[in-house]
Amino acid sequence: MSENQYGFKYDEYGNTREILVYASGTTIHNISFVNKGTAFSQSERKRLGLEATLPPAVRSLEHQVENSKIKVDSKELPIEKFIYVRSLFDRNVALAHALIKSDIENLMGIIYTPTVGLAVQQYSSMFRQANGLHFYPGNIDQAEDVLRRYIHRDIRVAVVTDNQGILGIGDQGAGGIAICLGKLMLYTQGAGIAPWHCLPISLDVGTNNEALLLDNDYLGWRHHRLTGDEYMEFIRRFACAFRNVFPNALCQWEDFSKQNAFAIRDSYLHDLISFNDDIQGTGAITLAGILTAMRIKLEKLEDQVFLVHGAGAGGVGVAEQIGVALVEAGLSEKEAKDRIFTLDSRGVVTSDRDIEEYKLKFAKDKEQFPWLKEQENLSLLNAVKKAGVTVLIGTSGQGGCFTQEVVEAVAVNTERPVIMPLSNPTSMTEALPEDIYSWTDGKALVATGSPFEPVTHNGKIHHIGQCNNVFVFPGVGLGVLGSGAREVLPQFFTAAAHAVSSCVSKAEMEEGSLVPSVNTLKDVSGKVALAVAMSAVQNGVSRPCVFSTFQHEGDEARMNELLRKMRWDPEYLPIVAM
């Protein structure tokens, strides 16, 4: 919809208080940020030229939500529910978000994982309406001009993907933008960043998925992927354009391949306000679970030995965040790295191997750890025994690799072993929670990447916490925006992890939960935002919030007030006809 048809009026906290409408008549129904459907009041219908375009009765938002719930529940398949919610969002943004808010625990699985994976795969065949931006070699030179068309929306967060590393299903071409759409809906649900401030972006550099290239319905750029200098130049052009148009907005890199994920994150640490959720968000939520386990065990983080099985972007991200937390706890960088082992398909990662650059940080020197000179000791089981591992984390995507022998070996090293099989989906989880409790006589502390039902062992019910990045990235986004942070620091994610862990109640810990319930997402995101914002102040990267005339002045109470009042709630706003 053209930018000259609507605009926004903000209060001193940068929150939208009114929507200004320059259009009238049936055109109003086509502006999703403005449309209220049957909830337009009689006076609004007169002012906006909507008389006779709607049935006479006026429904409240609450009534609309109840009707929408019935319609969602009537759909049998998750993908059908996804299509309904997304179609509703395309018509009426406020109603769609009010619906999601009313049942966040169930609908989060529809708008995001696991259902969004199906939407990605079926993107071209079920395409209904354009959402977000698709840059490809044919238009990347116009990126700055294209982005400027969105200035009227005051873009504050963009989720950007090159579509290569989607949710464990790999290269999905143009369909990857569905991930960005889902993530941004969760930014709104958790952090209250209004949908009009959010922008999903696909960097379509081609696809190596031959099935897509041969599919007549495929909507993406029908070429094999750009690589090397061509690829990095494409990314550079986008990054420069984004920085020039939205210098104060947050750019979240999403679902890039392992090597590209680290290279791009590190290349734009200081040029963009950006982070990679697959690396840093995964690291933070995993650290949050570990911190909760330490609260239960009454032990110190710096006394643990960690092994991350799976040295991809997520696994190394977990290792990085644990390392940052260990340094903040008082260890030197070397002491922190010495307590973190990573393991890939060839065994424990060692520095004498020819390995990708991003793995080098935690590669072990065999001279320092002589037991690694024996080839058999590079295996998962022997590494657990030799290193004395007390916290075992799985990001490998190898279902069942945490065998009974491996789990029992961790239990030998500590009375309460921390076992975290994080790979998705359930078929790829490293071990089933039921088995882990059985093998450790109920003593293990468990968190997973997939959702699992509670497990009963010896008459005690154990609730399985899901390490979901949704507890981290919305709050990080709001904290960065509220503090006016000039860059995103690793310390922000340690602060986020502590905030998430603090939200797990004593009762939840007694039931075995290491992370909060998704029903508390809004409250958790608020605490994460405050922790991140104050970390920005303490680390000297904060500045007055450019989205608000209200100044926080570095005071925690005033910062909290700013963050709270910046948040949009899914409700209908007053509409001013211009």
Residue 147: CA count within 13 A, CB half-sphere: 27
- Active-site residue set: 112, 183
DSSP state of 496: H
| Residue type for position 76 | E
Q: Quick check: 260 and 171 in contact, CB under 8 A?
A: no
| Residue type for position 339 | R
Whole-number Å distance between alpha carbons of 350 and 363: 4
| Residue type for position 516 | P
Q: Is 251 left (phi over 0), alpha (psi -120 to 50) or beta?
A: beta
Two tokens, residue 484: 């006016």
DSSP state of 570: S
Q: Quick check: 476 and 496 in contact, CB under 8 A?
A: yes
The dihedrals phi and psi of 483, each to the nearest 5 degrees, come to -85, -15
DSSP state of 193: -
Whole-number Å distance between alpha carbons of 514 and 304: 17
Reply yes or no: is the peptide bond before residue 417 cis, omega within 30 of 0: no
Cα 22 off chain centre by? 35
Whole-angstrom Cα Rg for the chain: 24
Q: Which residue has the tokens 């401030």?
A: 197
Two tokens, residue 520: 């508390």
Whole-number Å distance between alpha carbons of 537 and 539: 6
Whole-number Å distance between alpha carbons of 399 and 121: 22
Whole-number Å distance between alpha carbons of 371 and 388: 12
Element housing 290 (H / E): helix 282-297
CB atoms within 10 A of CB 151: 11
Residue 275: CA count within 13 A, CB half-sphere: 26
Distances from the Cα of 518 to the Cαs of 109, 192, 291, in angstroms? 11, 15, 18
Alpha helices in 440-544 (DSSP H): 473-483, 490-502, 506-510, 521-538
Q: Which residue has the tokens 């860059």?
A: 487
In degrees, rounded to 5, the angle at the alpha carbon of residue 287 between the alpha carbons of residues 281 and 289 is 110
Whole-number Å distance between alpha carbons of 481 and 456: 43
Q: Quick check: 446 and 514 in contact, CB under 8 A?
A: yes
Buried/exposed 85-99: b ≥16 CB within 10 Å, e otherwise: bbebbbebbbbbbbb
